[in-house]
Amino acid sequence: MESSKETGCQAREGPILCINNCGFFGSAATMNMCSKCHKDMVLKQQQAQFAAASIENMVNGGSSSSNLIEPLTADVVNVKAEPVVLKTDAPQLTPDLASSQSSEPKPKEGPNRCTTCRKRVGLTGFSCRCGDLFCSVHRYSDKHECPFDYRSAAQDAIAKANPLVKADKLDKI
């Protein structure tokens, strides 16, 4: 006991409750607050500092850009923790927008099935160029009697890829 009197250090007799009376234990590193209350206090200080800097910036016309960020100091702590309420700016629907959205019913999507055999295909279904969905057995055009004309589609693709080039005729001298 004499060594603690000589050094001036005092041993704590027990855990310290948070000074905001939230029921959790605080520590000297967080100014006798629990971690949540300390984080809320630091966040409020930063928000207040940012708001003051932005107001000052608007009043001064943006001339003092170096004063936007100042170091945080905690000299006096008399902060009561209040519940944080998040406010969201949700767009309010006007009656005409609400009626247009409700008048368009979404088609109910059932399980994905093969168009030919009605087998459930799920994520492994194959989409054909005719626009239907098929299983692994009926995925080929000859297996499901596909109405899509592959020949004319290929001819159109070749015609677009290889345009007809005509040279200018030379004038005879």
The dihedral of CA 67, 68, 72, 74: what is its sign?
Answer: positive
pLDDT in tens, 160-169: 999 887 777 7
Taking phi first (over 0 means left), then psi (-120 to 50 degrees means alpha), and beta for anything else, what does residue 38 get?
A: alpha
Distance CA 146, CA 85 (A): 59
CA-wise closest residue to 134 among 108, 124, 109: 124
pLDDT in tens, 43-84: 999 999 998 988 888 888 755 444 445 554 444 455 555 555
The C-alpha angle 20, 23, 27, rounded to 5 degrees, equals 65
For residue 159 the two structure tokens come to: 């015609």
